[in-house]
């Protein structure tokens, strides 16, 4: 069995790589590639469905998880629409490109990372309580409406933003400046 230090040593580089790649997509000009945007859109749709199922399961268990998920998805869709308005589209000899607003994407990512870090600390404390005999402590942690609302915000944003980018890839080259 792996020790906690060994687990962190393996997971830390993977998490840092994922964070770097996520933040890199929010900074600077990005190529407008239909296959990549379609793949991202499919992944975000799967994440949205999974999040909705988690919310429904939590709601059936008596928590406000479903409300948190729906509120997060709705807020994320509104932020995605706003993010599309702030996105600059351009076409030149090198191809089609878009430049997202870096502050909006980085802000949402930082919000989610902050919440996950907080939950990590809470889970660690609850797991120590559970080891002492209180088995209900860990069962409550996956139904946090605030965590699910923030996850819904992020998924809703990327869902709406990806749909807008997908539309921009389908628009004729002369109209690619407005999704």
Find the DSSP H helices in the chain: 4-24, 34-60, 65-86, 102-131, 136-141, 145-170
The pLDDT confidence band at residue 81, using thresholds 50, 70 and 90, is very high
Q: Which of 14-23, 35-44, 96-105, 138-147 has the lowest mean pLDDT?
A: 138-147
Which pLDDT does position 138 carry in this prediction? 45
Which pLDDT does position 130 carry in this prediction? 54
pTM comes to 0.74
């Amino acid at each position: 069995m792996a020790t906690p230090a060994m687990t962190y040593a393996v997971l830390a580089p993977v998490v840092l790589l994922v964070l770097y790649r996520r933040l890199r997509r929010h900074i600077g000009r990005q190529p407008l590639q239909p296959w990549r945007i379609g793949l991202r859109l499919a992944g975000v749709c799967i994440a949205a469905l999974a999040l909705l199922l988690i919310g429904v399961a939590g709601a059936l268990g008596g928590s406000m998880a479903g409300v948190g998920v729906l509120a997060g998805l709705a807020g994320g869709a509104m932020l995605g629409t706003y993010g599309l308005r702030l996105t600059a589209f351009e076409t030149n000899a090198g191809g089609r490109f878009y430049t997202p607003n870096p502050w909006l994407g980085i802000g949402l990512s930082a919000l989610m990372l902050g919440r996950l870090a907080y939950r990590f600390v809470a889970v660690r404390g609850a797991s120590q309580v559970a080891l002492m005999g209180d088995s209900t402590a860990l069962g409550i942690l996956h139904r946090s409406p605030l965590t699910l609302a923030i996850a819904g915000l992020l998924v809703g944003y990327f869902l709406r933003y990806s749909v807008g980018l997908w539309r921009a890839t389908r628009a004729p080259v002369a109209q690619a400046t407005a999704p």
